[in-house]
Structure 1
Amino acid sequence: MSATTSPARPGADRRGVVLAVILGCQLMMTLDASIVTTALPHIQQELGFTDSGLSWIQNSYVLVFGGLLLLGARAGDLFGRRRVFVAGVVVFTLASLLAGVAQTAELLIVARAVQGLASAFAIPATLALLVSSFPAPEERARAIAVYSAVIGAGASVGIIVGGVFTQFWSWRWGLLINVPIGALVVALAPRVLPEGGRQSGRIDVPGALTITLGMSALVYGLVEAAEAGWSSPFTIVPLVAAVVLVVAFVLVERRAAQPIVPLRLFASVQRSGAYVGRVLIVGAMFSMFYFLSQYLQNVLGLSPLETGFAYIPTTAMFFAMVYVVRFLGARMNKSTLLVASLVLATVGMAWLSRLDATTPYFPQIVLPLLVLGVGQGIAIILFTELGMADVGQSDAGAASGLVNTAHQIGGSIGLAILTVIFASAVGHGTDPDPAVQAEGYAAVFQVSTLFYVGAVVVAVGILVANRRSRRRAALLSAAPSAV
Structure 2
Amino acid sequence: MSTHSLRNAGPDPGAGRAVPPASGDEPPSAQRLRYPAVIVLCLTQLILVIDNSVVNVALPQIRHALGFSATGLSWVVTSYALVFGGLVLLSGKVGSIIGPRRALLIGVSVFTAASALGGAATTPAMLIAARVLQGLGAALAAPGTLVLLMSITRPGPQRARAMSVFVLSIGIGAGLGLVLGGLLTTSLGWEWVMYVNVPIGLVVLAGVRLLVPEAPRTPARLDVGGAVASTVGMTALVHGLISAESQGWTGPPVLASFALAAAGLLALVLIERRHAAPVVPLEFFTRMRSAAPLLAMMLIPAGQAGFLYFAALFTQNALGFTPLQTGLSVLPFSAALLVTNLLTGRLVPRHGERIVGSLGMSALLLGLLWMSRIDAADTYAGGLLGPFVLLGLGAGLTVAPVTAVIMHQAPPAHLGAASSLNQGMQQLGGALGLAVMTTVYGGAGTGEATAIATALTAGIVFPLLALTLFATWARPTTTAR
Scaled by the length of structure 1, the TM-score of the pair is: 0.82
- In structure 1, which of residues 352, 362, 367 is the aligned counterpart of residue 371 of structure 2? 352
* Preserved contact between residue 124 and residue 404 of structure 1 (Cα < 8 Å): no
Counterpart of 2:5?
none
CA shift, 1:123, in A, is 2.0
Counterpart of 1:255?
274
Counterpart of 2:139?
120
Counterpart of 1:412?
431
**Cα distance change of structure 1 residues 139 and 383 upon mapping to structure 2, 3 Å threshold:** farther
- Is it true that 1:439 corresponds to 2:458 in the alignment? no
**Cα distance change of structure 1 residues 220 and 144 upon mapping to structure 2, 3 Å threshold:** farther
* Preserved contact between residue 405 and residue 476 of structure 2 (Cα < 8 Å): no
CA distance in 2, matches of 1:350, 1:393: 39
- In structure 2, which of residues 16, 19, 22 is the aligned counterpart of residue 6 of structure 1? 19
- In structure 1, which of residues 155, 163, 175 is the aligned counterpart of residue 194 of structure 2? 175
CA distance in 2, matches of 1:368, 1:69: 32
- In structure 1, which of residues 62, 71, 86 is the aligned counterpart of residue 90 of structure 2? 71
Alignment of 1:65-464 (within 5 A): 65-102=84-121, 106-130=125-149, 136=155, 154-190=173-209, 193=212, 195-225=214-244, 228-266=247-285, 271-389=290-408, 395=414, 397-424=416-443, 426-427=444-445, 432=446, 436-463=447-474
Q: Once structures 1 and 2 are overlaid, which stretch shifts more, 370-379 or 326-335?
A: 326-335
Give CA deviations for 1:448-481 in whole Å, capped at 9, x if unaligned: 2232111111221244x449x98xxxxxxxxxxx
CA distance in 2, matches of 1:225, 1:274: 30
* Preserved contact between residue 145 and residue 381 of structure 1 (Cα < 8 Å): no
* Preserved contact between residue 66 and residue 215 of structure 1 (Cα < 8 Å): no
CA distance in 1, matches of 2:407, 2:213: 19
**Cα distance change of structure 1 residues 15 and 304 upon mapping to structure 2, 3 Å threshold:** same
* Preserved contact between residue 357 and residue 399 of structure 2 (Cα < 8 Å): no
The gaps in structure 1 that reach 5 residues or longer are 471-483
- Structure 2 letter corresponding to 1:6: V
**Cα distance change of structure 1 residues 157 and 268 upon mapping to structure 2, 3 Å threshold:** farther
Scaled by the length of structure 2, the TM-score of the pair is: 0.83
* Preserved contact between residue 240 and residue 258 of structure 2 (Cα < 8 Å): yes
Say which SS state the counterpart of residue 381 (structure 2) adopts: coil
* Preserved contact between residue 303 and residue 433 of structure 2 (Cα < 8 Å): yes
Say which SS state the counterpart of residue 330 (structure 1) adopts: helix
- Structure 2 letter corresponding to 1:7: P
Q: Once structures 1 and 2 are overlaid, which stretch shifts more, 266-275 or 118-127?
A: 266-275
* Preserved contact between residue 233 and residue 264 of structure 2 (Cα < 8 Å): yes
CA distance in 1, matches of 2:71, 2:351: 49
CA shift, 1:288, in A, is 0.7
CA distance in 1, matches of 2:423, 2:120: 29
* Preserved contact between residue 82 and residue 125 of structure 1 (Cα < 8 Å): yes
Structure number with greater CO (CA < 8 Å, separation at least 6) is 2
**Cα distance change of structure 1 residues 170 and 102 upon mapping to structure 2, 3 Å threshold:** same
Q: Once structures 1 and 2 are overlaid, which stretch shifts more, 178-187 or 84-93?
A: 178-187
CA shift, 1:128, in A, is 4.5
Q: Once structures 1 and 2 are overlaid, which stretch shifts more, 288-297 or 252-261?
A: 252-261
Give CA deviations for 1:262-318 in whole Å, capped at 9, x if unaligned: 334556756533321121110111101111221122222222221111100001122
Say which SS state the counterpart of residue 189 (structure 2) adopts: coil
**Cα distance change of structure 1 residues 386 and 129 upon mapping to structure 2, 3 Å threshold:** farther
Give CA deviations for 1:318-370 in whole Å, capped at 9, x if unaligned: 22223211221232212211111111222222222222221221144212211
* Preserved contact between residue 76 and residue 397 of structure 1 (Cα < 8 Å): no
The gaps in structure 2 that reach 5 residues or longer are 1-14, 23-28
CA shift, 1:43, in A, is 3.8
CA shift, 1:26, in A, is 2.4
Q: Over the residues paired in the alignment, what is the CA RMSD in angstroms?
A: 3.5
